[in-house]
Chains A and B, each alone.
Chain A
Amino acid sequence: AQSVTQLGSHVSVSEGALVLLRCNYSSSVPPYLFWYVQYPNQGLQLLLKYTTGATLVKGINGFEAEFKKSETSFHLTKPSAHMSDAAEYFCAVSRAGNTGKLIFGQGTTLQVKP
């Protein structure tokens, strides 16, 4: 079985500050891990994904995440927050070979203050 826990349903940062959104997963098989962003009343946009290989993955809009197997974590970071980063962020896990069956975390709302 697989599951995802996002720590903190709401994160608030100042513009220009570091963004850190936490995600821990549970998986009995090697996981594929994803971060998606959702703007109000829209679908999800893929920010980045980890499948195999390099554990530090870079995504769009300056975001990156590091897969840490020992900590079962896949935290999302961005060095400097922009106002346009304000959105809902979802961490998700799937099994290798079945990326369609995504298990999503509860989501984290990122607020960026001017």
Chain B
Amino acid sequence: GAVVSQHPSWVICKSGTSVKIECRSLDFQATTMFWYRQFPKQSLMLMATSNEGSKATYEQGVEKDKFLINHASLTLSTLTVTSAHPEDSSFYICSARTRTGTDSPLHFGNGTRLTVT
């Protein structure tokens, strides 16, 4: 149980185009999902908290107009990287809680490797 699926697992796009990454909770409802970014050989940095039916909460320094997050249902959150540039190339990982309680652990998707050429 508690499976989080991300799609695509990798994507290559040209500079200036937009890319959408999906994060789905397959066997549970997730009122809250989280998006992280990981640069090569580095740790994960929280980008934003995605709440079903409301606007995402972005961490300081994250451009909300560039990284559009939509959480339209209890099982799906999407991250759209708009007008992507090479510096946006990174590993993006989503996570979700299995229960509505804020103390429940997170389960992570397998990540999306984005390469912008």
Contact = CB atoms under 8 A, between A and B. Distances in A.
A43 B93 contact: yes
Chain B interface mostly: strand
Interface stretch (A11-19, A23-31, A60-68, A103-111): A103-111
A106 B40 CA distance: 11
B34 to A, nearest CB: 5
Interface residues of A, number: 24
B49 A101 contact: yes
Interface residues of B, number: 28
A80 interface: no
Interface string A58-87: 000000000000000000000000000000
A97 B108 contact: no
Given A41-B111, A42-B110, A97 B102 contact: yes
B97 A100 contact: yes
A90 B102 contact: no
Given A104-B44, A106-B42, A106-B43, A99 B103 contact: yes
B46 interface: yes
Contact of A107 (B32, B42, B113): B42
A44 interface: yes
A100 B110 CA distance: 17
B105 interface: yes
A41 B106 contact: no
A100 B95 CA distance: 8
A97 B104 CA distance: 9
Contacts of A98: 102
Given A97-B102, A100-B95, 5 more contacts: A42-B111, A43-B110, A43-B111, A96-B103, A104-B45
